[in-house]
Structure 1
Amino acid sequence: MYHIGVGGDDVGLDGFTDEELAAAAAAGDPEAFEVLVTRMAPIVLRFVRRMVGDAQTGEDLAQETVLALWRGLPEFAFRSTVRTWVLGIAHRKVVDHYRRRRDVPAPDTRFADLEAPEPLPAEAAEQTALRDALRTELSQMQATPRAVWWLREVEGLSLAEIATVLSLTDGSVRGHLQRSRAFLTTRLAPWKPGASVHAGEPSAEPRSERGQR
């Protein structure tokens, strides 16, 4: 049996990869599973909270994901990374949640006509005002582009990994990412360095005087 730290040996589990921990947990090592959950829980919780917009529901779905992780480990075939697999479970829990509410988001058409400019600057997202605005704009997105953007920009998954998590093609993921970046860049333009007005504030220049001279 594949077991990490047997016999009370002082073996640090933090040095093992997610895949090694998953293999050990699948073989019956509870300590390995505990460390694996410690690693995965923050990622899962951030994702589901952002997708459902409610802290308590997010907690519940994260708990369901961990339970499904435990039950599914013996059948996990390592055809993807553990992180990709776990986020796929979390995504299915989110979809099930919306289905239970009979509120499955409609296919996305919101960003169809937008071009894809440069991605949202990561350093600007550190500003409090921009962070609050970003949270608001993300909540207005359809579920799929929101998930794609979050998994790429926050969790750092590759396009192929996101396609696996969300059961999409690579091309579909790329399109959703480009359109969501375009949407956020446009909506958050007032918070870019050098911008003189904030969203919802009128311009200091009267409309009637624009373009004169």
Structure 2
Amino acid sequence: MLLVYLRSLVRDESAVDDLFQEAMVVAWKRLDECDLDRPFGPWLRGIASRLVLAHYRKQKSLPVVVQEAVLNVVDRHFRNINLLAGDTWDDKVAALRECIDALPEKHKVTIRGKYFEGLSVAGVAERFDVTIEACKKRMQRGRTMLAACLKSKGVLSASEAEL
């Protein structure tokens, strides 16, 4: 949904990709500021809209579509879409947990070791007595399977799954 939002405001596809990545980084850094009992989409779009405005300020042009009143209308339409199931933080975390639980065991323990226990790749490899290269390959395959699962649940779009 964030990519759709950005594409509705910015025509340049490479700028959309950059803005998406930047919005995700900012959101990650500010996650403790997010009220996780409220829908996640409006909070994330708020970050993205400020980044879009900054993007156009750098270019010294502000298209009609990015004027504040237009941003408010676009956001209102997205809010209506967000009333559908699946947009809360809990919905997204539940889908991620389900997808992790569905992974084959060797991929599941590798992903959990790296991302939930904070082990280094070398630490995960040592724990499961595999080479670092084998561990990296398990993580890569596990992430690919996670992306496909999240895509099938509607949590990720096809383009997000490729990132």
Give the shorter-chain TM-score range: 0.3 to 0.5
User: TM (normalized to structure 2)?
Assistant: 0.42
> Which structure has the highest helix share of the two?
2
User: TM (normalized to structure 1)?
Assistant: 0.33
